[in-house]
């Protein structure tokens, strides 16, 4: 637990109350700060980028009213949704499953890797933790849909479960590939096995890791139901699935959760395969030697998020120019294409790792 609050130390060490505050309180504050300062703004940026990019592809203008070039549109959306009246009666089942869904989602804030000094949980199992959260998230989302007692909710919930089951297997196998190269599933080990140069990234280490990277990203889309694999949340045929009965504040929570899913998966993919937070030109070592942890934290975070947003943009690009896949085709694709390829990549990566160990 100490590690969770340790990143706060360079910021509060000069303050007199730092020693007297209990550790658990610092940890909680750290999580809230990461959520408010990193996750929510990232969600806003992703939402804006996604809307502008899709507008460009479709020869539209996109958001252009709130602020210069519409950059304040996410804020405007948030404020509008927050003040909307809740539609329908209070449904305690729905509320409970929305709570489960949200807790599963944001439990990952504790394990998300955001930089060498911003590793909140760094254990031997830490790379697996987001997966269990993703599976619990799928469970919560499924029951959220089933508890609504509506046709879109039912179909959305069942589709969420089907996609999560189909996507989890190849995603886990692809994670094993990265772990085999790094020699462990500790975030710091995985990051240490790579460097800032793209040639030293795990994805570029050998063709098997390259396949594993693709499988990891695509199966993440399937697992979490992110476009273009978002048949579980599709608007035309099931009215947004689980989201169809949510409105106002609940919809805000849910929609932010969708963005957070995407962000989480992209961050993990970048850390596992695309060099993580390693700064170029040896800046990381220099800053560590110069004992400047604050600048190191900020720069690493920005570098990691920049890579993440690039990955998000590429996925959004693909999602916007390709039709949404039907749910049976998505699961079919995950079982029949992603899974064999992930196993192939795992065997190849194991052989390469074994060859190196000889």
Which residues are near other proteins by CB under 8 A?
A: 53, 55-61, 317-318, 320-322, 337, 341
What tokens appear for 76 in the block? 């405007």
DSSP 10-49: HHHTTSGGGTTS-HHHHHHHHHHHHIIIIIHHHHHHHHHH
Cβ burial of 166 (10 Å; 0-12, 13-18, 19+) is buried
Separation CA 217–CA 311 (nearest Å): 9
With respect to other proteins, which residue has the nearer C-beta, 321 or 351? Answer: 321
- Within 10 Å of residue 79's Cβ, how many Cβ atoms? 13
With respect to other proteins, which residue has the nearer C-beta, 294 or 336? Answer: 336
Beta bridge partners of residue 113, listed in sequence order: 119
CB of 73 to other proteins, least distance (A): 15
CB of 59 to other proteins, least distance (A): 5
With respect to other proteins, which residue has the nearer C-beta, 215 or 279? Answer: 215
DSSP 84-111: SPPPS---HHHHHHHHHHHHHHHGGGGT
Cβ burial of 98 (10 Å; 0-12, 13-18, 19+) is buried
CB of 3 to other proteins, least distance (A): 40
Q: Note whether 141 and 157 are within 8 A (CB).
A: yes
CB of 333 to other proteins, least distance (A): 8
Instruction: Assess whether the previous peptide bond of 228 is cis (omega < 30° from 0).
Output: yes
With respect to other proteins, which residue has the nearer C-beta, 24 or 57? Answer: 57
With respect to other proteins, which residue has the nearer C-beta, 125 or 321? Answer: 321
CB of 51 to other proteins, least distance (A): 13
CB of 61 to other proteins, least distance (A): 5
With respect to other proteins, which residue has the nearer C-beta, 47 or 228? Answer: 228
* 330-335-339 Cα angle (round to 5): 120
What tokens appear for 166 in the block? 């189909």
CB of 325 to other proteins, least distance (A): 11
């Amino acid at each position: 637990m100490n590690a969770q609050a340790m990143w706060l130390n360079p910021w509060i060490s000069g303050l007199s109350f730092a020693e007297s505050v209990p550790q658990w309180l610092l940890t909680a504050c750290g999580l809230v700060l990461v959520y408010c300062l990193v996750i929510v703004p990232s969600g806003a940026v992703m939402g804006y980028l996604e809307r502008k990019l899709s507008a460009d592809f479709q020869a539209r203008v996109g958001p252009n009213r709130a602020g210069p070039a519409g950059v304040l549109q996410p804020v405007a959306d948030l404020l509008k949704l927050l003040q909307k009246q809740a539609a329908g009666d209070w449904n305690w089942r729905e509320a409970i499953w929305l709570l489960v869904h949200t807790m599963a989602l944001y439990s990952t804030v504790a394990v998300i890797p955001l930089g060498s000094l911003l590793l909140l949980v760094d254990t031997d199992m830490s790379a697996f933790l987001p997966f269990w959260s993703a599976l619990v998230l799928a469970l919560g989302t499924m029951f959220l849909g089933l508890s609504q007692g509506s046709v879109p909710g039912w179909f959305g919930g069942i589709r969420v479960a089907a996609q999560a089951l189909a996507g989890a297997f190849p995603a886990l196998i692809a994670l094993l590939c990265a772990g085999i190269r790094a020699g462990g599933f500790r975030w710091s080990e995985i990051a240490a096995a790579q460097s800032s140069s793209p040639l030293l990234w795990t994805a570029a280490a050998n063709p098997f890791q390259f396949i594993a990277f693709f499988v990891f990203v695509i199966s993440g889309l399937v697992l979490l139901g992110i476009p273009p694999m978002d048949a579980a949340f599709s608007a035309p045929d099931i009215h947004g699935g689980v989201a169809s009965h949510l409105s106002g504040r609940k919809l805000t929570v849910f929609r932010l959760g969708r963005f957070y899913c995407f962000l989480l998966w992209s961050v993990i993919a970048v850390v596992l395969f695309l060099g993580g937070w390693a700064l170029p030109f040896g800046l990381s070592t220099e800053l560590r030697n110069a004992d400047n942890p604050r600048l190191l934290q900020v720069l690493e975070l920005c570098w990691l998020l920049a890579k993440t947003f690039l990955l998000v943009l590429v996925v959004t690009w693909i999602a916007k120019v390709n039709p949404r896949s039907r749910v049976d085709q998505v699961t079919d694709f995950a079982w029949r294409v992603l899974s064999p390829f992930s196993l192939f990549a795992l065997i190849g990566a194991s052989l390469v790792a074994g060859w190196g160990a000889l």
